[in-house]
Chain A
Amino acid sequence: MSAIERLTPERAKAATGYFARLARWNVYEILFWLALAGMYFVPNVDLVLMSQIFIWGLFAMSLDILLGYRGIPSLGHAAFFGVGAYVAGYCGKFGWTEPISALVLAMAIAAVVGWLTGKLVQRVTGVGLLMVTLGLNLILYDLVHRSTDVTGGDDGMQGIVIAPVLGLFRFDIFGRTAFWYALIIAFILFVIARAVVKSPFGLALVGARENPRRMIMLGAPVEGDVSRAFALGAALAGAAGALLTQTTQFVSPNTLSFQRSADVLVILIIGGTGRLYGGFIGALVFLILRDWLAAISPVYWYFWIGLLLVVVVSFFRKGLLPSLETLLNRWKPSKADGPTA
């Protein structure tokens, strides 16, 4: 950032020290990821469900970049998920069966779509943003839904072939490969997202969220940052979509549905925004409860999910994770100084 370059060497060093401190991993984070990996060894665990939790978690984290860090509410985030899912689908259909490179391609295309969306909405705020993002999502959904010849429409795309990961691990019916593949990709992308939000760029996003006018006066490229944030969020969402296509070897317009945009928002809000982990926690809670309730009461489970949402929103105002943090901090006098990101 240009602001830092003009500082004296000592202060620059202090600033670098600040970001280094910010980026340090704490023990809870390491435990969290080890616990996720450890789920594999729990007897009788539903590996397929776990892999879908990682995918939803990654998807929710991608929305967190926009909503939690930049304060952009989006009701159309499934559009980017769907773009990734369909790109991976087409790759598998037309002979590009190697999953990792197809995933990278899906991310790149989703990023471009996201960047363009960012350009389009960078001057829109508040309710207008909700409407524009929702509108874009619906347009894309209808396009895919109606172009039966190209996309398979409502019936979904047939004939997707995904080669074994690294040529070694076939996607099996127990979901073992899907578990590790989704977890490792989600972790790598998490590390990247974490590095970005704990960098000066991430701090600039938070600054623009809190006080855009002041950021402009500081000379920060607030509008350009919006499209960059969109590109990053969309790339991560696209990766989640591609992961879903590859682990299920199927893609349908459902990946682009408004329901998915709404669900991911709910997951993020349950978990807590502005934490990166919120998405994963929300996905764990939401999907495990949904699966469990739907199995014991296939007809009435929606009622319990609704009740859960009401309870979370009324008792954990900011979501599960931030509320727990507040509780912890109450016991342990804070050593927090400087802005939190």
Chain B
Amino acid sequence: MKIAMKIAASLLVATSAAVLSGFGASAQETVKIGILQSYSGITSLGGQQTDSTVKLFMQKYGDTAGGKKIELVRRDTTGPNPEVAKRLVQEVVTREKVQVLIGPDYTPNTLAAAPILMEAKVPSFVTGAATTGIVGEKSKYSTRTFFAVPQLCKPLAAYAVKNGWKRVFVAVADFAPGHDCEKYFIEALKDASGTLAGNLRIPVANPEFSGYMQRIRDAKADALFIFMPIGELSIGILRAVNDSGLKASGIKIMGTGDITDETYIDAVGDAALGTITTGIYSTQHDSALNKEFVKDYVALNGAKPRIGWGAIATWDAMRMTYDALNAQAGAKFDPDKFAAFIHGRTFESPRGPITIDKANGDIVQNIYIRRVDKVNGVLQNVEIESFKDVGFK
């Protein structure tokens, strides 16, 4: 009986201590940052990368900015699921009183969340959705630190024609981003006076690539342009291109950086060698800032999973959040000032210089042409040329 009383008493003390310390923390002003990413299912790598990056950033720069304590609220969007994402945005905005949001990821989630963020005046960072025009007038508190589809799809057309690969075959995944990319690439190809050798839309559910390889071979193109989402499909098509002998026939293989994304490229293996892609970031980028970023990231989170674009987009979002909070140090959090501070900014990111467009918060950045090479025995996207300050339209 006595023991039971003792346990009960100590529990009571413990809970009241916890409650009191809770009060203690709230005495200092806090800023709540919501993180809405995919943490479960096949898209969980995105959330994992975001968390690793945020952890690194806060380890390096502390958990206060502008005199305010940073508090994180994480939620799982479960992938492209606007029903869940919108509800979570409403929840973290109205109940948790989140002041800044990193996410949600994916285009449908971003679009569904936009009216809420606009009405509640919550600045947000788009770190994982690439469709054109999803930031701008309908969400003037949003800032994109990822990329816009045209940024990746257009420069390759000019690059190919310049190198004498005039006849290009276009193969895209048969879903909205694929249709988008196809449109931009073919437009840019015409502008560069190249010719379209043929085009293909490949279904995203369990495609069998070998049949398509023959059609591409028959078109006798100089180069093949591929757009596939990161993951299984990219692995599949690069392997098929190699195994069918298409690559050995001398056709140039190129595409957006998704197909040789660092997080999956080891699964493709040597079949990926020589692939030319456009990208916003490579861990091989030659700058002091990037070398430091990569070294610290690997030291904290390990070499696997490898650093992808989601990490760099999150890093820059955190960087701007801290800068904007520091700029309004000592004052109450003001979302309008926060957004105004960020929009129109230019700064050096580990990926290279970036500018946030003043009018609509979208990103202007360098696009790099990269080639897959082996560096110290590891497949890497090595930057061989760059297009400066590519716009988002």
Contact = CB atoms under 8 A, between A and B. Distances in A.
B326 interface: no
B120 A173 contact: yes
Q: Give the interface SS of chain A, mostly helix, strand, loop or mixed.
A: helix
A292 to B, nearest CB: 12
B39 A154 contact: no
A303 B124 CA distance: 30
Interface string B113-153: 00110011000000000010000000000000000000000
Interface stretch (A17-25, A111-119, A122-130, A145-153): A145-153
B387 interface: no
B175 interface: yes
Contact of B76 (A142, A145, A250, A298): A298
16 contacts: A44-B95, A48-B91, A49-B91, A52-B87, A142-B203, A146-B174, A152-B176, A154-B108, A173-B90, A248-B82, A248-B83, A249-B112, A250-B82, A250-B112, A295-B75, A299-B48
B74 interface: yes
Given A148-B176, A156-B108, 16 more contacts: A49-B91, A52-B87, A145-B204, A154-B175, A154-B176, A173-B94, A175-B90, A249-B115, A250-B82, A250-B108, A254-B83, A294-B78, A298-B76, A299-B40, A299-B48, A301-B76
Nearest to B90: A48
Chain B, interface SS category: helix
A174 interface: yes
B350 interface: no
Residue from the set B78, B176, B201 with the largest chain A CB neighbour count within 10 Å: B176
Given A146-B203, A153-B176, A154-B175, A254 B81 contact: yes
A250 B111 contact: yes
Nearest to A249: B115
B1 interface: no
B80 interface: yes
Contacts of A174: 90, 94
Contacts, number: 99
Interface of B: 39-41, 44, 47-48, 74-76, 78, 80-83, 86-87, 90-91, 93-95, 107-108, 111-112, 115-116, 119-120, 131, 174-177, 179, 201, 203-205
Contacts of B179: 148-149, 153
Interface residues of A, number: 33
Contacts of A44: 95
A248 B119 contact: no
A298 B80 contact: no
A244 interface: yes
Nearest to B81: A254
B380 to A, nearest CB: 29
